[in-house]
A and B are shown apart, each in its own frame.
Chain A
Amino acid sequence: MDVLIASVVDGLLIGFVYGLAAMGLTLIFGVMDVVNLSHGALIALGMFGAYLLYTGLGINPYIGLFFVLIGGILLGMALYGIAIHPLLHGPHLSTLLSTFAISMIIVGVGTALFTSTPRNIDISMGALTLGPVRILGTRVIAALMAILMAVGLYIFMYRTHTGKSVRAVANNRDAAELVGIPSTRILALSFGLGTMLAMVSGGLIATLFPFSILSGGTYELKSFVICVLGGLGNPTGALLGGLILGLIEGFIPVFMPVGWTPVIEFTLFVIILLVRPSGILGAR
């Protein structure tokens, strides 16, 4: 029983971070119908961003996340301009190839600059012992920051004019233009937001586990599963999907060999696609 409680708690905490990562992917898909294959590479960039600010300039990783956030939005907007915008009305799936190319470039340059030797952000934020469960400070903070970002995103999307414009463009780009919304700028901002979410989640993950430029791949795969689980294009769904995935990852090892976790995850992925393709909360 103790094991189950510990697993649930661990799973939920990490689930929030997974959810944050997936929100970036689902937002981009929801707004502009682009599958961002550079999602993993951007997560890894976020990891390195937080790491370099910490080891190079001594900035606390949680404060460094603020700079990663700004950097993420700017990078995302730049990437949109170079690699996505010209291809939005191009042949089908060309944006897929384009984001794949970005991924290869980021990983290639990253390997050349940083090598594939694993890195660590060594900070300790203490731990709490609540009954049978021992919770690490770093995981709690990561989960809280993820929740904060999710709330921030919600406020942005529903309470600000720009946010509403994003939702308008996602709904119907032509109609949005007709009412005077500068859709190209909004799309660029959306890609920026998606990139930012990926990079910030990367920065949070870096405070928890060792990483290298190649580590983004695992989280990208998880993000795909989460997006489908929660409903493509639905950020709340992504958060919920993240929690579900985190719980699965916490639970499965208790009952079966740890190696079965990805099998269960991806079987679930396929089942959802077959049975309820719009995801649990419905696609947008």
Chain B
Amino acid sequence: MKHLRIILSVLFILALLVTACSKATPTPMPTKAAAQPTKAPEAKTKTLVLGFTASNTGKYAKESKEQTQGLKLWAEAVKKKGGIKLSDGTIVTFELKSYDDESTKERVQQLYTKLITEDKADLLVSPYSSGLTAAAAVIAEQYGKIMVTTGAASDSIYKQGYQRVYQIYTPASRYLTGAVDALKAWDPNAKKLAVVYEKTKFATGVATAAKEYAEKNGFEIVLFEGYEKGTTDFGPFINKIEAAKPDAIIGGGHFQDGSTFAKQLYEKKTPVKMIAILVAPAVPEFAELGDAAVGVIGPSQWESLAKYSPESAKAAGLAWCGPTIDEFVSAYKAAYGYEPGYHAAGGYAAGLVLERAIKMADSVDPDAIKAALDKMDVMIFFGHIKFDTGEAHGLQIGHDMVYLQWQKDKSGNLVREIVWPEAAKTAEPLYPLQR
């Protein structure tokens, strides 16, 4: 027995060592997009380091992957163009530097500090999610670095008095207000709403704003309750929702909990007329739920069928810059093999906005770039981009949400259609849900 014990212990330790050595350890894995100087011998090349963290692992992995792919696609486009040409002949190129934040705030804080102090990042892009972005924004502002946030809708980040943090997404307070409008338009008799949300900064902000808006519009909130982050069993919660007999359920959180919630709602055949949840329906992988996805509505920062174009920009009296929606979608599909959702579009938009700011500032000086961002009022494929410069400095005030719904097309495939607002719609809404 004694020898057996020793042998087993040695084998166990060997097994651990083999596992540790054979698999890459989860320490930072930097990625780079190489800078390429142009051929003109006198032109100066300035390479700006663009730093960000991506959630390669952890609960935000799926959304973050889309966002990073969007940003990298933009970086590739700039590289192909040969960089940004300033009026004095300088060619500006970008070097992307990123690490895995493992979907945790602690890693975000460590890694953004590292990006700024060791990797000498000139400009920053946020991680995905309001929670992680709030942590990153503190670091960015502390070091006076400009950070463009994408994948971060929470209004509270822009109420902290930061001067160099700029939001691409429509704020949380305007996420579900459209869903309330839609329900009112489709069914004036529907009066009872259940607002259930993930207890995170973002979802709580959305839910609170939606509740206030719904009450102002004559709805009765039969249930207003949050569930813990990381909830996997929505059974008891769904029983409670069913007991309240709502006409519609709105809320949710992020992809992981949202898709589990949608799946369990379908399994329990909860008799509601409308389900509008955050984030999850807009991620391409939501389609894996199959029939459970049909009819689920999600607010979307952007859809490929949206009507933003150079023509609509002109009609609105705005300048236009960057690729058209079709150009973006085709490039994304060519690079990654499937259609982009709004997380990818947001990633691309973050880069594009920085590119425009540098062009407009005609300089790489951070103060000049900041001034250009403050003045920005442009339409891009993602929509209208304009930042608040008052008390809520950096808050996105130009951009609006569209609402998508998963429906089955004629061949029975799941597709996303825009069902609200009326002006943007591409298909009739499925209402009420057949459950």
Which residues of A are at the interface with B, using a C-beta cutoff of 8 A? Answer: 2-3, 6-7, 10-11, 14, 78, 81-82, 85-86, 105, 109, 111-113, 115-118, 122, 127, 129, 134, 136, 184, 208-211, 215, 249-254, 257-259, 261
Task: Determine whether B256 belongs to the interface, using a CB cutoff of 8 Å to chain A.
Answer: yes
B114 within 8 A of A: no
A112/B26 in contact, CB under 8 A: yes
Query: Residue B240 at the A interface, CB < 8 A?
Result: yes
Asked whether B431 is an interface residue with its Cβ less than 8 Å from the other chain, the reply is no
Q: Given that A129-B269, A134-B268, A136-B267 are known contacts, is A117 also in contact with B236, CB under 8 Å in the complex?
A: no
Separation in Å of the A185 CB from the closest CB of chain B?
Answer: 9
Q: How far is the CB of B287 from chain A (nearest CB, A)?
A: 13
Q: Do B4 and A81 touch across chains, with their CB atoms under 8 A apart?
A: yes
**Contacting B1 at CB < 8 Å: which of A7, A184, A253, A257?**
A184
Residues of B within 8 A of A109 (CB): 16, 19-20
Give the complex CA separation of A118 and B230 in angstroms. 10
- Nearest A residue to B257, CB-CB: A210
Name the distance in Å between A220's Cβ and chain B's nearest Cβ: 15
What's the nearest-Cβ distance from chain B to residue A208, in Å?
A: 7
- B contact residues around A251 at 8 Å (CB): 236
A10 touches B239 (CB 8 A): yes
Does residue B23 face the partner (Cβ distance < 8 Å to A)? yes
Contact between B235 and A10 (Cβ–Cβ < 8 Å)?
A: yes
Residues of B within 8 A of A215 (CB): 232
- Chain B residues whose C-beta falls within 8 Å of the C-beta of A112 in the assembled complex: 19-20, 23, 25-26
**A81-B5 in contact given A113-B23, A117-B57, A209-B233 (Cβ < 8 Å):** yes
Q: Looking at the assembled complex, report how far the CB atom of A138 sits from the nearest CB atom of chain B, in whole angstroms.
A: 9
Contact A116 B103 (CB under 8 A): yes
Contact: B227 with A254, CB < 8 Å? no
The CA-CA distance from A259 to B199 in the complex, in Å, is 10
- A257 / chain B contacts, CB cutoff of 8 Å: 225-226
Q: A253: which of B20, B240, B288 is its contact (CB, 8 Å)? A: B240
| B426 touches A (CB below 8 Å) | no
Q: How far is the CB of B131 from chain A (nearest CB, A)?
A: 15
**Contact across chains for A85 and B5 when beta carbons are under 8 A apart:** yes
The CA-CA distance from A116 to B59 in the complex, in Å, is 7
Not counting A115-B56, A184-B1, A257-B225, a sample of 17 additional A-B residue pairs whose C-beta atoms are within 8 angstroms of each other reads A81-B9, A82-B5, A105-B16, A109-B19, A112-B26, A115-B58, A117-B58, A117-B61, A209-B232, A209-B233, A209-B260, A210-B232, A252-B236, A253-B236, A254-B236, A257-B226, A258-B228
Taken together as a complex, chains A and B put the C-alpha atoms of A254 and B237 apart, in Å, by 8
Minimum distance in angstroms from B232 CB to a CB of chain A: 4
* C-alpha gap A116/B106 in the complex (Å): 15
B336: Cβ under 8 A from any A Cβ: no
Decide: A86 and B58 in contact? CB cutoff 8 A: no
Min Cβ gap B41→A in Å is 47
28 example contacts (A-B, Cβ-Cβ < 8 A) are as follows A3-B240, A3-B243, A11-B236, A14-B235, A81-B1, A81-B4, A85-B5, A113-B19, A115-B57, A115-B61, A116-B102, A127-B267, A210-B232, A211-B232, A249-B236, A250-B235, A250-B236, A252-B236, A253-B236, A254-B239, A258-B225, A258-B227, A258-B228, A258-B231, A258-B240, A259-B226, A259-B227, A259-B228
User: B94: shortest Cβ distance to chain A, in Å?
Assistant: 28
B side interface size, CB within 8 A: 40
Q: What distance in Å separates the Cβ of A143 from its nearest Cβ neighbour in chain B?
A: 13
Given the complex, which residues of B lie within 8 Å of A81, measured CB to CB?
A: 1, 4-5, 8-9
A279–B288 Cα gap in the complex (Å)?
45
Check A118/B242 contact, CB under 8 A, given A250-B235, A252-B236, A258-B227.
Answer: no
Q: Complex: how many Å from CA A82 to CA B227?
A: 41
Separation of A11 and B233 alpha carbons in the complex (Å): 11
A118 engages B4 (CB within 8 Å): no
**Contacting pair B16 A7 (CB below 8 A):** no
Min Cβ gap B220→A in Å is: 19
Min Cβ gap A191→B in Å is 13
Complex Cα spacing A137 to B231, Å: 21
Q: Chain B 1-36, CB within 8 Å of chain A: the 1/0 string?
A: 100110011001000100110010110000000000
Alpha-carbon distance between A127 and B265 when the two chains are bound, in angstroms: 13
A116 and B269 contacting across the interface, CB-CB below 8 Å: no
Q: Once the chains bind, are B239 and A7 in contact (CB under 8 Å)?
A: yes
| Distance between Cα atoms of A253 and B288 in the complex (Å) | 29
B contact residues around A259 at 8 Å (CB) = 199, 226-228
Task: Indicate if the CB atoms of A210 and B12 lie closer than 8 Å.
Answer: no
* Chain A residues near B20 (CB-CB < 8 A): 109, 112
On whether the beta carbons of B26 and A6 are closer than 8 Å, the reply is no
Tell me if B12 and A82 are in contact (CB < 8 A). Answer: yes
Nearest A residue to B235 via CB reads: A10
Given the known A-B contacts A115-B26, A134-B268, A184-B1, are A210 and B256 also in contact in the complex, defined by CB atoms under 8 Å?
yes
